[in-house]
A and B are shown apart, each in its own frame.
Chain A
């Protein structure tokens, strides 16, 4: 269905090949999973296989790509190619144009030469299959990240192409959401669809994937059925995060007074109750994971610790300060919050200046030293003069942590720090976090991955619908 013959490609104005010498072919009904570190060429491979590089990108190309036996260059344009190949990009927002979910799907369907009856039929079927029936009148900006991903997937499926190229379709979904996509993929495979899938969640996808491809620096490192690929130790660590031996040497200072304490904390967005009656104490030096599904209130809770949200009822005390009243800039001395998407913070011209921003804002003494120390902790000192947005996703995530670290807050909060990272990179981030705990920081990590929470944190707090439903450290 798709054949790549020694494909190499370098983006314009870069000397380096983003992918090099890729030879890969996908048979009908096969599901191939591509994984690898951030920046290893996964997305470029998707663009190559869909014929997008050929039709829309400049840069240096070699090798050949064929779809259904026909060279992608022989298709008239992308619209022509898209009758054979459906592609889903990793950012759902840029694939939604219209004002409601239904209008979005309808607008895509009516350009395909289907009869009106078939358009209606496909529309209602795909709404049902992807569970979007209840959301069909919602505008895109009123959808969560996970819901947007489902809408984009629905459009790709509605078009009914035999080949699907899916770039991280579940990155913003929680465990339940991911599982529903996995069962959908199984169904598609049973229908004979060929699927090229880029994902970091191999353990959840193992049941549907036929073959694995591990990319390393733009080249295929290993490829083949799961048992063969997993026998390669490096590939194994990429696919399956291994957090063994990570939980050592922690000494939470339980006898000291808590560094964070909430009592009866409640908050609502408009009419919607987001937090209700949260009582939580966190001791200095503890590593607490807050887990729960999308919309369970995790992010809402942590925003209260740094004053970005103020409680409607109840109290929040952080490091001796009243977090319901103290200004954010003052709380930032005590609490460092690393947001999920590092791209929401980078604006400086160099890695060094980026880190210095927070240091200058808080007037931390010995600026140069503070920045260099933070960069060396996150192992980016060799990149200090680079433009932050040129770094790989994994490096950007570490830089985001470095930016906050340099401000020397005793409490570090990380919101989904392993999103979009492979097993190896996830382990690196967790190791970094553990080192920071060893240095005396209190760590709060928000995640929807139960594995990471249970294997790495000292204590797991589970939230559901704005309440704490279990706390492994309660009463300890």
Chain B
């Protein structure tokens, strides 16, 4: 089973970086990506991140995630085609030879450009976030956030949400099997599909709610929200962090300069 957004033990480039460095990485990448609308620049970002993933020996899980990006890009292109109908028309979504409705949805160059920009942004953000999550142990993240004085509740919420993805996948599969054994068959048509969700989703959600109570008790009993902690096996800023942080700061400033004073981005 493909494991979505789970920590992968390892000792590559990203594993050795301090969580704080990786958070800075995400911030710089996010801002630069969201503010850029130059396709060549966005492609360059994506290639750079994929190169970093390769260097960190995490390219394979990152590429597996690209299926999601591909699916999402179809949606993004459709939305932009529907919402940007003015401009240089290069064709129609419904071909002209179709009677009555033929030639009704124009595809414009502008729509394709916007769709490409959105897809690239989505791919970059997903990849950067994934690299962070699969190379960072939650314990290190908790420590880093504590240092930044961010309440433990937020960090715990985040790591628990990630931690339970595979558990819910496994449980969902079991529930699905139990319902199949009761002759359950997913309905037909849109309404049928929606209705057929109930026999799987209701047990899944009910069981999770029951679990949440115990999870909350566990967090309190183990004292994960307390500030006192024995300091051991802690991440410290290593040589790579000392190189990476200034590089990212310089890149951030360069980007800000380019954004405000040039037309490149």
- A residues bordering B, Cβ < 8 Å? 52, 56, 77-79, 81-82, 87, 89, 91, 93-100, 103, 106-116, 119-120, 137, 139-141, 155, 303, 306, 308, 328-329, 332-333, 336-337, 339, 341, 343-347, 357-358, 361-362, 389, 403-404, 407
Contact = CB atoms under 8 A, between A and B. Distances in A.
A329 B185 contact: yes
Contacts of A107: 139, 142, 222, 224
Contact of B163 (A52, A108, A140, A345): A140
A328 B180 contact: yes
25 contacts: A79-B221, A81-B221, A93-B167, A94-B212, A94-B214, A96-B163, A97-B224, A99-B137, A107-B139, A115-B230, A137-B9, A140-B163, A140-B167, A141-B167, A155-B222, A308-B181, A344-B171, A345-B175, A345-B179, A346-B203, A347-B198, A347-B200, A347-B206, A358-B183, A361-B183
A95 B214 contact: yes
B181 A339 contact: yes
A141 B170 contact: yes
B220 interface: yes
A98 B207 CA distance: 20
Contacts of A404: 181-182
A98 B203 contact: no
B178 to A, nearest CB: 4
B83 interface: no
A403 B226 CA distance: 47
Given A87-B221, A107-B222, A98 B139 contact: yes
B198 to A, nearest CB: 6
A341 B181 CA distance: 14
- Top 10 closest A-B pairs, CB basis? A361-B183, A347-B202, A116-B232, A94-B214, A141-B166, A111-B223, A358-B182, A79-B223, A99-B7, A94-B211
Nearest to B211: A94
Interface in B144-182: 156, 159-160, 163, 166-167, 170-171, 174-175, 177-182
Given A78-B220, A347-B202, A358-B183, A303 B177 contact: yes
Given A82-B222, A116-B232, 6 more contacts: A99-B163, A111-B229, A140-B167, A337-B181, A344-B178, A361-B185
Contacts of B7: 99-100, 139
Contact of B139 (A79, A106, A137): A106
Given A56-B220, A106-B139, A344-B174, A361 B184 contact: yes
